[in-house]
Each structure stands twice: as structure tokens, then as C-alpha cells.
Amino acid sequence: MAHDHQHNHLVQMLDLDAEVLEDFHRELVGWAGSLVGDRPRVVDLGAGTGTGTLALARHLPGAQLTAVDVDDEMLEHLRHRAADAGLQDRIRTVRADLDGDWPALGPADLVWASASMHHLADPARTLARIRDTLRPGGAFMITELDGFPRFLPDPGLEDRCAAEMDRLRREGGMHMHENWGARLTAAGFDLAGERTFELEIPAPLPPAARRYAQVTFARMRERLADRLSADDLAALDDAAATAAHRDDLTVRATRMVWVGRRPS
């Protein structure tokens, strides 16, 4: 049951991220689109609820897309969204654990991995597989985040949460804060682009951004329930409970993007 709640919060967080940071996602998809031709084959690794897959399918009407994830529920959510948008004919889903044996995914013109590379156990092995999945000259766009977005005016509570989340992720073997540019080069890619986006939405927040804050606080509380002080847990509960009506919240998020090309 606890897992279901956590899962539900993650699904909501991913969908709200897409809605609230819409301008950023649009810019990213435009960038990805500029890297490929008219009828590209696109692979979305760790596709989640399909933010990238669906946005790429809309932006690239000639594209065929493969969304890969280990999680059946995510893929089911993605298939529903694809059907609702009338995009099901161009999107196939593949359930696979990308730390295990890979299904046949290539040759791809574009591989996209958003907030998923840090989950995979062995970055060098994964990058070698991605290079082999791309056709010569194909592009790999990787997007990563520095942690959960921030919302509160005073940094103390979110600083303590971020430090604990970092510790938790490190203990779980996750690869946050990697230098993916250096890793791409070491894996035989040509580094074709690298950008950091500092995203900000000012107060007062629109309703979707308030829900994003609320769900983020709730997810942080779940993940850190046995790691934070009782005072901090109560403060997170309060932040979640009041997000809908207080006017001093803002959204601040950092996203890093790298593009590698498989040499022709």
C-alpha cells in the first residue's frame, strides 16, 4: 500500500512537471527536433508517464517512437495518454529493465533519456549500449535534474530535505550529479551540446504549480519519513497542507542537458 501511494505521487509529479514546466519542455523538444530529419526513429529510455514520448510525437509528425520503461504501470499510463491524443499508431511501448539484457531498439536517429540515466546502475555500459542503438550520426539527448524543485521562500527545510535525498540516492547507487559530458566523450560520442536551464515561476503560483508543490512535499515526506526530525516532517506536512492557498511560493528548478552524437 505504501508503495502504491509513492507510485501515485511519482506519476502525479511527472505529469505536473510536464504541465508546470511546459515552456522548458517545449524548448527541449524543439532542440531535439532540430537534431533529426523528417521521419526519425526515436527511443525514449525510462519514458515514465510519457512526457518526452508524447511531446516528441506531437512535435515530429513523421516520427516513430519507442517508449521503454521497467514499470508496467508507467507504460500503461503512457499508452492511455497516447490513445487519448490519437498518437497510438506511432508509439510502441517496450517493458524492459535497462540494467539487464536490452531488447532490439535500434537503429535509432534519436535516443532521449530524461531524468532516467541516474537510475541506471552502470553509466559506461549504458552509454555503450545507447551508442550501439544509434545509427552513425544519430543523436543522444540526456536531461538530468539536480534534485526536487524548490518552492518555499526560506531555504532551510528544503536544504535539509535535499541533503537527505542526496544521501538516500547515493546509498541506493544512483548517479545524480554526474558529468555526463565527460562520460559521453569517454564512451565515444562527439559532444554536440551542453546547457543548464535555471527555471523559475514567480509568485503567486497558478493552480497546477501549487499542486506540483503539494505533491513534491508529500513525496519528499514519504521518502524521508525515517530520516528527518519530527519538526521537519511536521513542517513538510504543513507546507503540503497550505500550498493551495499561500501566495509566497515560487517554483525553482535546475535542469542540465547534454547532446552526444555517434560519429558517422
Ligand X SMILES: C[S@@+](CC[C@H](N)C(=O)[O-])C[C@H]1O[C@@H](n2cnc3c(N)ncnc32)[C@H](O)[C@@H]1O
The binder of ligand X chosen from 65, 74, 209, 218 (CB under 6 A): 74
Q: How far is the CB of 50 from ligand X (least distance, A)?
A: 8
Q: Which of 22, 72, 76, 97 binds ligand X (CB under 6 A)?
A: 97
Q: Which is nearer to ligand X, 46 or 260 (CB)?
A: 46
- Mark 146-181 as b/e (b = at least 16 C-beta within 10 Å): ebbbbbbeeeebbebbbebbeeebeeeebbeebebb
Give min distance, CB of 115 to ligand X, in A: 4
| Least CB distance to ligand X at residue 224 (A) | 17
Stretch that binds ligand X, among 45-53, 55-63, 77-85, 200-208 (CB under 6 A): 45-53
Q: Are 48 and 112 in contact (CB under 8 A)?
A: no
The DSSP element (H or E) to which 75 belongs, if any, is: helix 72-84
Does residue 144 interact with ligand X by CB under 6 A? no
Give the other-Cβ count within 10 Å of 79's Cβ: 16
The reply to whether 46 sits near ligand X by the rule CB under 6 A is: yes
Q: What is the DSSP letter of 48?
A: T
Distance from C-alpha of 143 to C-alpha of 264, rounded to nearest angstrom: 23
Under rule CB under 6 A, residue 48 binds ligand X: yes
d(CA 223, CA 230): 14
Give the nearer residue to ligand X in terms of CB position, either 14 or 187. 14
According to DSSP, the β-strands at 91-95 and 108-114 are: unpaired
**255, 118, 11, 76 alpha-carbon torsion, rounded to 10°:** 120
Q: For residue 23, state whether it binds ligand X (rule: CB under 6 A).
A: no
Q: Which of 32, 36, 47, 256 binds ligand X (CB under 6 A)?
A: 47
- The residue behind cell 531498439 is 105
Residue at shortest CB range from ligand X: 48
Residues 150-179 that bind ligand X (CB under 6 A): none
- State which residue, 9 or 235, has the beta carbon closest to ligand X: 9
The x, y and z cell numbers of residue 96, run together, are: 524492459
- 171/168 Cα distance (integer angstroms): 5
Residue closer to ligand X, measured from CB, 93 or 116: 116
Q: Does 149 engage in binding with ligand X (CB under 6 A)?
A: no
Considering the complex, what minimum distance in angstroms separates the CB of residue 138 from ligand X?
19
Applying CB under 6 A, which of residues 84, 99, 237, 238 lies at the interface with ligand X?
99
Question: Which residues contact ligand X (rule: CB under 6 A)?
Answer: 14, 46-48, 51-52, 69-71, 74, 97-99, 114-116, 119-120
